[in-house]
Amino acid sequence: MTAVESRPAGVLDHSTVPRPFAARVRAFVALTKPRIIELLLITTIPVMFLAAQGVPDLWLVLATCVGGYLSAGGANALNMYLDRDIDALMHRTSQRPLVTGMVSPREGLVFGLTLAVGSTLWLGLLVNWLSAWLALGALLFYVVVYTMILKRRTSQNIVWGGIAGCMPVLIGWSSVTNDVSWAAVVLFLVMFFWTPPHYWPLSMKVKEDYARVGVPMLPVVASNATVSRQIVLYSWVMVAVSLALWPLGYVGWFYPLVAGLAGAWWLKEAHGLQSRARAGATGAALKEMRLFHWSITYVSVLFVAVAIDPFLR
């Protein structure tokens, strides 16, 4: 058997892949999953405005965002390193740099570890050490707990693994105050209950990919009706928790107004998905991606309201 024949399916011989410099740079940026990190920054910056009850120090905002990007980017790179075997077999991830050979596994590992160490030092020296340890904890949770332990073993993987994606809220607050308050905890919980109903609709769309590689995402092991019921339950809890900032006294009238309207629309979409699933809709008729796309809009609108509210009190 030749060397080519002995390689696992989907894994390229990295020594034969042409790798122009500009393409290599784009590949390393892709390892950080910049589109996902945009969402993390959307939650970090508004929380800094709420913590400062106004405009925070702009240098602090820049330093926190750069450190947060590097930390999350390191976690994403290490995630791709660990998941490169299944990424090669999934349509959605088949063009990732470690699969195409634009970046070798060794380079991906070193890149991820370098970002992990560099981001911790950056945040510790330029922001504060509480924010640095929170970021490092999020990175380790995503890489070790989610990617290495939960993802391939339980359908609750995204529920608990999503904790890592909630940490930017705590990091944003602690960067301004050097502590963590109940306001930050409430917004952390909003993101915790947001993550499953955000990700499960996408998982419903690509469940064949996950089934092919043996990853037990909830839509793989449960019916659409069951998944949609879970989405509705998490959605109601998320909306209720989002409104808790008001009675706790951290916001004025603007935030609860926006949170209530946005939450009502979310619940409309969640119940619509459940109705279609119960009716046996499949494929395009299920329209599961409507809720996925709205979920991104929802969290953006909610946290913009968090940033604006201090100026209207």
pLDDT number for residue 13: 53
CATH of the domain at 299: 1.20.120
Last residue of a domain, one of 132, 164, 196: 164
How many Å apart are CA 307 and CA 52, to the nearest integer? 10
Verify that 151 and 59 share a domain, yes or no.
Answer: yes
Residues of the domain holding 228: 181-313
In a domain, 169, yes or no: no
In a domain, 7, yes or no: no
Verify that 228 and 147 share a domain, yes or no.
Answer: no
pLDDT tens for 127-136 read: 999 999 999 9
Verify that 136 and 226 share a domain, yes or no.
Answer: no
Give me the chain's average pLDDT, please: 92
pTM above 0.85, yes or no: yes
In a domain, 197, yes or no: yes
In a domain, 3, yes or no: no
Give the mean pLDDT of 254-280: 96
Verify that 248 and 143 share a domain, yes or no.
Answer: no
Handedness of CA 20, 25, 30, 32 (dihedral sign): positive
pLDDT at 311 over 80: yes
Verify that 105 and 192 share a domain, yes or no.
Answer: no
Verify that 296 and 206 share a domain, yes or no.
Answer: yes
Number of domain units in the chain = 2
Say if residues 146 and 161 touch (Cβ distance below 8 Å): yes
Verify that 206 and 136 share a domain, yes or no.
Answer: no
In a domain, 85, yes or no: yes
| DSSP of the chain | --HHHHSPTT---GGGS---HHHHHHHHHHHT-HHHHHHHHHHHHHHHHHHHTSPPPHHHHHHHHHHHHHHHHHHHHHHHHHTHHHHTT-GGGTTSHHHHTSS-HHHHHHHHHHHHHHHHHHHHHHT-HHHHHHHHHHHHIIIIIIIIIITTT-TTHHHHHTHHHHHHHHHHHHHHHSS--HHHHHHHHHHHHHHHHHHHHHHHHTHHHHHHHT---HHHHS-HHHHHHHHHHHHHHHHHHHGGGTTTTS--SHHHHHHHHHHHHHHHHHHHHHHHHHTT--GGGG-HHHHHHHHHHHHHHHHHHHHHGGGT-
Find how far residue 134's CA is from the centre of its chain: 16
pLDDT tens for 77-114 read: 999 999 999 999 999 899 999 999 999 999 999 999 99
